Chain A
Amino acid sequence: MTVPAQYPFRTCGATGHRIDRAAERLVKVNAVAAVVALLVGAIAALLLVLTRWQAVHLLPAVWYYRILGVHGMNMLIFFIIFFEMAVLWFAGTVLLDSRPAAPKYGWFNFALMLAGSLLVEAMQWSGRADVLFTSYPPLKAHPLFYLGVIFFAVGALGVVGQFFATLVIAKREKTYVGSMPLVVYGAMTAAVIAVITLVHGAAVYIPTFLWSIGLIPAVDPEVYRLLWWALGHSSQQINVAAMVAIWYMLGALTVGAVVLNEKVSRSAFVLYILFISMASAHHLLVDPGFGPAWKIVNTSYFMYMAVLASMVHGFTVPAGMELGMRLRGYTDGLFGWLRRAPWGDPGFSALVLSVVVFGFFGGITGVTIGTEQINITVHNTLRVPGHFHATVVSGTAMAFMGATYYLLPLVFQRKVAFWKLAKMQPYLFSIGMLMVEMGMTFAGSFGVPRRHWDISFSQAPFDVQFSPAVDLFLAVMGIGGILAVTGALSFIAIAVKSVFFGEKVTEFTLGTAMEGVPQGLTHPPVQPANADALNEALHAPERGIAGATPGTLVLVAVFLVAFMLYYFTNWKLLTFLWKIG
Chain B
Amino acid sequence: MLTKVHTGLDPVPGIWWRPAHKAERVWVAIAFGWCMVLFAMMPLWHWKGGQNPSGVRRRVDPKAYYARTLAFATQYKVGEDRGLPIVAPPPGAEVYLVGLTFQWYPILKLERGKEYTLHLSSLDVNHGFSLFPLSVNFQVVPGYDYALRVTPTAAGDLRIICNEFCGIGHHTMVGRVIVVDGGTPVADNRRPSILGGGDR
Are B23 and A545 within 8 A (Cβ)? yes
A506 at the interface (CB under 8 A from B): no
Given contacts A465-B196, A580-B52, contact A447 B135 (CB under 8 A): yes
Q: What is the bound-complex CA distance between A557 and B16, given in angstroms?
A: 28
Are B14 and A581 within 8 A (Cβ)? no
Q: Which among B125, B134, B141, B200 is the interface contact of A463 at CB below 8 angstroms? A: B200
A454 at the interface (CB under 8 A from B): yes
Are B35 and A305 within 8 A (Cβ)? yes
Are B35 and A308 within 8 A (Cβ)? yes
Are A259 and B163 within 8 A (Cβ)? no
B183 at the interface (CB under 8 A from A): no
Which residues does chain A contribute within 8 Å of B6, judged by CB atoms? 258-259
A560 at the interface (CB under 8 A from B): yes
A285 at the interface (CB under 8 A from B): yes
Are B21 and A539 within 8 A (Cβ)? yes
Q: Which among B8, B22, B31, B136 is the interface contact of A376 at CB below 8 angstroms? A: B136
A446 at the interface (CB under 8 A from B): yes
The size of the chain B interface, using a CB distance under 8 A, is 97
Q: B15 to nearest A CB, angstroms?
A: 9
Mark interface residues in B130-141 (1 if CB within 8 Å of A CB, else 0): 111111111111
Are B161 and A181 within 8 A (Cβ)? no
Q: For B146, give the chain A residue with the smallest CB separation.
A: A288
Are B53 and A286 within 8 A (Cβ)? yes
Which residues does chain A contribute within 8 Å of B167, judged by CB atoms? 139
Which residues does chain B contribute within 8 Å of A79, judged by CB atoms? none
Q: What is the bound-complex CA distance between A207 and B56, given in angstroms?
A: 29
Q: Which among B9, B12, B197 is the interface contact of A178 at CB below 8 angstroms? A: B12
A486 at the interface (CB under 8 A from B): no
B67 at the interface (CB under 8 A from A): no
Q: What is the bound-complex CA distance between A327 and B139, given in angstroms?
A: 54
Of A35-43, A245-253, A390-398, A474-482, the one with at least 4 CB within 8 A of chain B: A245-253
Are B8 and A182 within 8 A (Cβ)? yes
The size of the chain A interface, using a CB distance under 8 A, is 125
A469 at the interface (CB under 8 A from B): no
Are A315 and B27 within 8 A (Cβ)? yes
Which residues does chain A contribute within 8 Å of B75, judged by CB atoms? none
Q: A490 to nearest B CB, angstroms?
A: 28
Of A107-115, A296-304, A329-337, the one with at least 4 CB within 8 A of chain B: A296-304
Mark interface residues in A448-470 (1 if CB within 8 Å of B CB, else 0): 01111111010111111111000
Which residues does chain B contribute within 8 Å of A173, judged by CB atoms? none
Q: Which among B135, B173, B176 is the interface contact of A381 at CB below 8 angstroms? A: B135
| Residue of A311, A324, A535, A549 with most chain B CB atoms under a 10 A cut-off | A311
Are B163 and A560 within 8 A (Cβ)? no
Q: What is the bound-complex CA distance between A211 and B41, given in angstroms?
A: 41
**Cβ < 8 Å to B, chain A residues 548-565:** 548-549, 553, 556, 560, 563-564
Q: What is the bound-complex CA distance between A375 and B51, given in angstroms?
A: 10
Are A376 and B137 within 8 A (Cβ)? yes
Are B141 and A178 within 8 A (Cβ)? no
**Cβ < 8 Å to B, chain A residues 352-404:** 367, 371-373, 375-381
A1 at the interface (CB under 8 A from B): no
**Cβ < 8 Å to A, chain B residues 49-89:** 49-55, 57, 82, 84
Q: Which among A178, A381, A546, A575 is the interface contact of B23 at CB below 8 angstroms? A: A546
Are B132 and A139 within 8 A (Cβ)? no
Which residues does chain B contribute within 8 Å of A312, judged by CB atoms? 27-28, 31
A95 at the interface (CB under 8 A from B): yes
Q: What is the bound-complex CA distance between A312 and B3, given in angstroms?
A: 19
B111 at the interface (CB under 8 A from A): no
Q: What is the bound-complex CA distance between A311 and B43, given in angstroms?
A: 23
B190 at the interface (CB under 8 A from A): no
Which residues does chain B contribute within 8 Å of A327, judged by CB atoms? 5
Given contacts A286-B137, A575-B51, contact A371 B38 (CB under 8 A): yes
B171 at the interface (CB under 8 A from A): yes
Which residues does chain A contribute within 8 Å of B137, judged by CB atoms? 286, 375-381
A544 at the interface (CB under 8 A from B): yes
Which residues does chain B contribute within 8 Å of A445, judged by CB atoms? 135
| Residue of A304, A461, A465 with most chain B CB atoms under a 10 A cut-off | A461
Which residues does chain B contribute within 8 Å of A264, judged by CB atoms? 20, 24, 28
Q: A216 to nearest B CB, angstroms?
A: 15
Given contacts A291-B57, A535-B2, A549-B23, contact A373 B49 (CB under 8 A): yes
Q: Which among B5, B84, B173 is the interface contact of A258 at CB below 8 angstroms? A: B5
Q: For A533, give the chain B residue with the smallest CB separation.
A: B5
Q: Which among A178, A263, A287, A462 is the interface contact of B175 at CB below 8 angstroms? A: A462
B150 at the interface (CB under 8 A from A): yes
Q: What is the bound-complex CA distance between A248 and B9, given in angstroms?
A: 8
Which residues does chain A contribute within 8 Å of B57, judged by CB atoms? 288-291
Q: A199 to nearest B CB, angstroms?
A: 24
Are B8 and A249 within 8 A (Cβ)? yes
Are B5 and A547 within 8 A (Cβ)? no
B46 at the interface (CB under 8 A from A): yes
A8 at the interface (CB under 8 A from B): no
Which residues does chain A contribute within 8 Å of B175, judged by CB atoms? 462
Q: B115 to nearest A CB, angstroms?
A: 8
A222 at the interface (CB under 8 A from B): yes
Q: What is the bound-complex CA distance between A319 and B14, given in angstroms?
A: 23
Which residues does chain A contribute within 8 Å of B138, judged by CB atoms? 286, 376, 379
Q: A217 to nearest B CB, angstroms?
A: 13
Which residues does chain B contribute within 8 Å of A260, judged by CB atoms? 20-21, 24
Are A296 and B43 within 8 A (Cβ)? yes
**Cβ < 8 Å to B, chain A residues 521-550:** 527, 531-532, 535-536, 539, 541, 544-549
Pairs across A and B, CB under 8 Å, 25 listed: A95-B9, A181-B9, A262-B16, A263-B18, A286-B53, A288-B139, A288-B146, A300-B42, A308-B32, A319-B24, A376-B136, A379-B138, A380-B137, A446-B135, A461-B172, A462-B82, A462-B176, A465-B197, A532-B5, A547-B21, A553-B23, A564-B34, A567-B38, A579-B50, A581-B54
Q: A578-B134, A579-B115, A580-B53 are in contact. List 13 more A-B contacts (CB 8 A).
A: A65-B168, A95-B9, A178-B12, A180-B11, A251-B8, A252-B9, A257-B7, A376-B136, A447-B130, A453-B171, A466-B196, A563-B34, A577-B135
Q: Which residues of B contact A (CB under 8 A)?
A: 2-14, 16-18, 20-24, 26-28, 30-32, 34-36, 38-39, 41-43, 45-46, 49-55, 57, 82, 84, 115, 120-121, 124-126, 128, 130-146, 148-153, 159, 161-168, 170-176, 196-198, 200
